[in-house]
């Protein structure tokens, strides 16, 4: 792989849709001429889009028109548009907004029903499994009940031993009751599903740690110029996803477990992945697929000058096996905390952006490399994955902005996600949730 001058690497963070509706790009270290380009062309578009978005706020019934209008604005300027702009933050947000109204309705319905029907929600006799290391333990961070349901459903349907599976879901107080109720209404073979309220954990067990909100896996876009003469059209963009800050609590939240398999909620599992449970990781802390299109040396401006090997590859979240004992032994959480202190974030955006360097540094040298054919990455941004690959790979990761549950989803990949979504849920119909 060719080295690119490090100053030309640029990083952006894409908030997932169920986060606040932010989109932050750091057009860092770009040559001034490019900055001007951005400002001029973007300024005009922002104005147009502001108008359209203002209209969309008053639109109750059919937001498709607004969506179409926005797409037109985007098309008109596409020639001058930079890759970042094609997947415009504004279009993205609109997709988010039209989704979130119906989604919000679903959440409310489920929450209300939870409190109306306590008997349905009674804990089953499976509580003893939760801490029991004879079972295979999966952990998912999620704020999206539909995404979560698809990840769990696909993993269990394709497993040969569903009765040995325990899923632990970490969510926040807004989603906790609706998820409880959803999983009381739907069954997933014989698996045990254990929903944890992060906010409750925080105040009961970690109150002295000054934790923020629950964070999801973080996605980053890393752009670099392909030639020495930078032009906006020759940007080369890679997508990375890594753990969020809350992941660093895993060894403390699951004090009684020795290992877990971690899944992102934008993953669909198509084959039995339980072999990961007994995988010998040779003393490493996490098993992950490598992402060698990004080398740590390219991220020098984010990682600092020392503490890593220039040539080592980045890695991806999605499906990871974690050795919690090794993690505790090496005090990775302590390493993480000192890295976070060193990086000094001034605001929420910087805090979230810090997830990239802290992940890459805290786990540096502690990664067991999983075969890249285990999981197909990039189905939320890459149009070029062949049908055959998508059908045959063990797992699909929809990292990128175009999540399969959004209108913006890449159509040809959507069906693989949707086929694991229940069609039998009255509240989805009532709320007009039809991803």
Ligand X SMILES: *[C@@H]1O[C@H](CO)[C@@H](O)[C@H](O)[C@H]1NC(C)=O
For position 422 contacting ligand X by CB under 6 A, the verdict is yes
Stretch binding ligand X (CB under 6 A), from 116-124, 327-335, 345-353, 419-427: 419-427
d(CA 235, CA 8): 10
Tokens of 288: 């992950």
> Which is nearer to ligand X, 89 or 296 (by Cβ)?
296
* Widest CA span in the chain: 66
Contact 74, 81 (CB under 8 A): yes
Nearest-approach distance from CB 97 to ligand X, in angstroms: 26
Q: Please enumerate in sequence order all residues whose Cβ is within 8 A of that of 428, keeping only pairs 6 or more positions apart, or say none.
A: 106, 434
Selected range binding ligand X among 149-157, 231-239, 245-253, 275-283, rule: CB under 6 A = 149-157
DSSP state of 254: T
For residue 347 the two structure tokens come to: 């605001």
Identify whether the C-beta of residue 176 lies closer than 8 Å to the C-beta of residue 142. no
* Gap between the Cα atoms of 144 and 99, Å rounded: 12
Q: Which stretch binds ligand X (CB under 6 A): 76-84, 353-361, 376-384, 416-424?
A: 416-424
Q: Find the binder of ligand X among 297, 301, 335, 364 (CB under 6 A).
A: 297
Contacts of 312 (CB under 8 A, 6+ apart): 295, 296, 364
Report the alpha-carbon distance of residue 68 to residue 75 in Å, rounded.
10
Instruction: Rule CB under 6 A: choose which of 31, 69, 186, 238 binds ligand X.
Output: 186
| Phi, psi of 83, deg, nearest 5 | -50, -45
Residues in contact with ligand X, shown as a per-residue x/- string from 299 to 328 under the rule CB under 6 A? -----------x------------------
Q: What is the nearest approach in angstroms of ligand X to the Cβ of residue 185?
A: 9
CB-nearer residue toward ligand X: 230 or 297: 297
Least gap, CB of 152 to ligand X (angstroms): 8
Q: Say if CB 409 and CB 403 are below 8 A apart.
A: yes
Stretch that binds ligand X, among 34-42, 312-320, 361-369, 415-423 (CB under 6 A): 415-423
| C-alpha distance across the termini of the chain, in Å | 39
Residue 162 CB, nearest distance to ligand X (Å)? 12
The bridge status of strand 165-171 relative to strand 267-269 is unpaired
User: Shortest gap between Cβ of 297 and ligand X (angstroms)?
Assistant: 5
Read off the tokens for 322: 């974690």
**Sites for ligand X among residues 187-206 (CB under 6 A):** 188
Token code pair at residue 187: 């069954």
In the complex with ligand X, which residue's Cβ is closer, 24 or 157? Answer: 157
Calculate the alpha carbon distances from 369 to 177, 287, 316 in Å.
37, 6, 10
**88, 144, 153, 241: which one contacts ligand X (CB under 6 A)?**
153
Residue 214 vs 269, nearer CB to ligand X? 269
Query: Which residue lies nearer to ligand X by CB, 25 or 102?
Result: 102
Nearest residue (CB) to ligand X, 201 versus 421: 421
Three-state DSSP class for residue 340: helix
User: Where along the sequence are the contacts to ligand X (CB under 6 A)?
Assistant: 149, 153, 157, 186, 188, 297, 310, 419-422
């Amino acid at each position: 792989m060719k080295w690119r001058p490090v100053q030309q690497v640029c990083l952006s963070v894409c908030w997932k849709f169920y986060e606040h509706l932010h989109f932050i790009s750091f057009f860092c270290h770009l040559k001034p001429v490019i900055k001007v380009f951005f400002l001029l062309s973007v300024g005009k578009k922002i104005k147009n889009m502001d108008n359209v978005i203002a209209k969309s706020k008053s639109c109750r019934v059919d937001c498709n028109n607004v969506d179409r209008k926005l797409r037109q604005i985007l098309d008109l300027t596409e020639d001058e548009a930079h890759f970042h702009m094609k997947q415009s933050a504004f279009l993205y947000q609109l997709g988010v907004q039209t989704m979130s109204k119906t989604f919000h309705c679903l959440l409310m319905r489920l929450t209300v029903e939870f409190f109306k029907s306590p008997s349905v929600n009674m804990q089953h006799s499976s509580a003893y499994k939760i801490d029991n290391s004879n079972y295979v333990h999966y952990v998912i961070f999620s704020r999206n009940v539909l995404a979560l349901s698809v990840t769990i459903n696909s993993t269990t349907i394709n497993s040969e031993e569903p009765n040995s599976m325990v899923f632990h879901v970490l969510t926040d107080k807004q989603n906790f009751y609706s998820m409880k109720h959803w999983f009381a209404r739907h069954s997933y073979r014989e698996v045990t599903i254990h929903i944890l309220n992060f906010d409750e954990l925080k105040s009961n067990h970690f109150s002295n740690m000054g934790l923020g909100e629950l964070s999801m896996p973080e996605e980053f876009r890393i752009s670099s110029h392909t030639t020495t003469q930078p032009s906006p059209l020759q940007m080369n963009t890679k997508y990375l996803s890594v753990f969020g800050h809350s992941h660093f609590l895993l060894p403390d939240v699951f004090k009684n477990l020795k290992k877990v398999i971690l899944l992102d909620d934008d993953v669909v599992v198509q084959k039995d992945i339980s072999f990961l449970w007994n995988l010998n990781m040779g003393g490493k802390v996490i098993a992950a697929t490598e992402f060698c299109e990004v080398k740590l040396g390219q991220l020098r401006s984010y990682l600092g000058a020392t503490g890593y090997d220039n040539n080592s590859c980045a890695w991806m979240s999605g499906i990871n096996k974690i050795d919690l004992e090794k993690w505790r032994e090496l005090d990775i959480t302590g390493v993480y905390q000192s890295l976070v202190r060193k990086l000094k974030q001034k605001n929420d955006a910087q805090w979230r952006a810090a997830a990239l360097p802290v992940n890459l540094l805290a786990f540096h040298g502690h990664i067991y490399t999983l075969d890249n054919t285990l999981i197909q990455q990039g189905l939320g941004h890459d149009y070029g994955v062949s049908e055959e690959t998508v059908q045959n790979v063990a797992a699909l990761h929809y990292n990128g902005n175009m999540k399969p549950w959004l209108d913006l989803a890449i159509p040809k990949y959507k069906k693989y996600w949707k086929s694991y979504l229940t069609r039998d849920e009255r509240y989805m119909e009532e709320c007009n949730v039809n991803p």
